[in-house]
Structure 1
Amino acid sequence: MGTGTGKTRLLGGRYQLTSPMGRDGVGIMWRAHDSRLRRNVAIKEIQPHFRDHGADLEEARRRALREARSAGRLSHPAVISVHDLLEEGGRLWIVMELLEALTLKETVRHLGHLPVHWAAWIGFQLLSGLRHAHGAGVLHRDINPGNILLTGDRVVLSDFGIAALSGEASASTTVPIGCAPAYTAPERLRGRAATPAADLWSFGACLYFAVEGRSPYPESGSLAVLSTAMSRNPEPPAKAGPLWTVLEGLLRRDPAARVSAGQAARLLSEILRLEGVAVAPPQLPAARFPAGPFTS
Structure 2
Amino acid sequence: MATVEIPQQLADFTVLEKLGMGGNGTFYLAVPPARLGLATDRVVVKVFGGVCSDDAYRRGVRELRAFAAVVSPYLAGLYDAVLQGQFMYAMEYFPLGSLGSPARELGRDEKLAAIADAARGVDALHEAGIAHANITPSSIMVTETGGKISDLGLARVLAADEPITSFAQPGAVQYMDPALLAGDVPSRATDIWSLGACLHRALTGDGVYGEVPDTQPLLAIRAALSTPPALSENLDRDERTLVANCLALAGTRPSTAMEVARRIDALRGR
Shorter-chain TM band: 0.7 to 0.9
- Check conservation: 2:133, 2:153, Cα contact below 8 A: no
- Check conservation: 2:27, 2:47, Cα contact below 8 A: yes
**What secondary structure is seen at the aligned counterpart in 1 of 2:41?**
strand
TM-superposed deviation, 1:62: 4.9
Q: Does 1:127 align with 2:119?
A: yes
> Which residue of the partner structure matches residue 94 of structure 2?
99
What TM-score comes out, normalization by structure 2 length? Answer: 0.77
**Letter in structure 1 aligned against 2:129:** G
TM-superposed deviation, 1:208: 0.4
Between the aligned partners of 2:48 and 2:178, the Cα distance in structure 1 is 30
Q: Does 1:19 align with 2:17?
A: yes
> Which residue of the partner structure matches residue 7 of structure 2?
3
Alignment of 1:182-221 (within 5 A): 182-221=174-213
Identity of aligned residues (%): 20
- Check conservation: 1:119, 1:210, Cα contact below 8 A: yes
- Check conservation: 1:185, 1:201, Cα contact below 8 A: yes
> Which residue of the partner structure matches residue 178 of structure 1?
168
> Which residue of the partner structure matches residue 259 of structure 1?
254
Deviates more, 1:125-134 or 1:174-183: 174-183
Q: Does 1:68 align with 2:60?
A: no
Change (3 A) 1:190 1:47: closer
Structure 1 unaligned spans of 5+: 50-54, 277-296
- Check conservation: 2:19, 2:28, Cα contact below 8 A: yes
> Which residue of the partner structure matches residue 268 of structure 1?
264
TM-superposed deviation, 1:175: 6.7
**What secondary structure is seen at the aligned counterpart in 1 of 2:199?**
helix
- Check conservation: 1:80, 1:97, Cα contact below 8 A: yes
**What secondary structure is seen at the aligned counterpart in 2 of 1:194?**
coil
Change (3 A) 1:187 1:253: farther
> Which residue of the partner structure matches residue 135 of structure 2?
143
**Letter in structure 2 aligned against 1:106:** S
- Check conservation: 1:45, 1:94, Cα contact below 8 A: yes
TM-superposed deviation, 1:265: 3.3
Instruction: Pick the structure with greater CA Rg.
Output: 1
Change (3 A) 1:56 1:207: same
Runs of 4+ in 1 over 4 A off after TM superposition: 169-176
- Check conservation: 2:118, 2:148, Cα contact below 8 A: yes
Between the aligned partners of 1:64 and 1:41, the Cα distance in structure 2 is 23
Change (3 A) 1:240 1:126: farther
Between the aligned partners of 2:69 and 2:166, the Cα distance in structure 1 is 22
Deviations 1:18-70 (A, max 9, x none): 33333332244332133353632424253442xxxxx4434752564255224
- Check conservation: 1:172, 1:194, Cα contact below 8 A: no
TM-superposed deviation, 1:128: 0.9
Between the aligned partners of 1:172 and 1:258, the Cα distance in structure 2 is 30
> Which residue of the partner structure matches residue 229 of structure 1?
227
**Letter in structure 2 aligned against 1:81:** G
**What secondary structure is seen at the aligned counterpart in 1 of 2:16?**
strand
Deviations 1:223-250 (A, max 9, x none): 11221113xx523441445322211111
> Which residue of the partner structure matches residue 79 of structure 1?
75
**Letter in structure 2 aligned against 1:248:** A
Alignment of 1:150-161 (within 5 A): 150-161=142-153
Between the aligned partners of 2:62 and 2:186, the Cα distance in structure 1 is 15
Backbone CA RMSD of aligned residues? 3.4
- Check conservation: 1:212, 1:240, Cα contact below 8 A: no
**Letter in structure 2 aligned against 1:264:** V
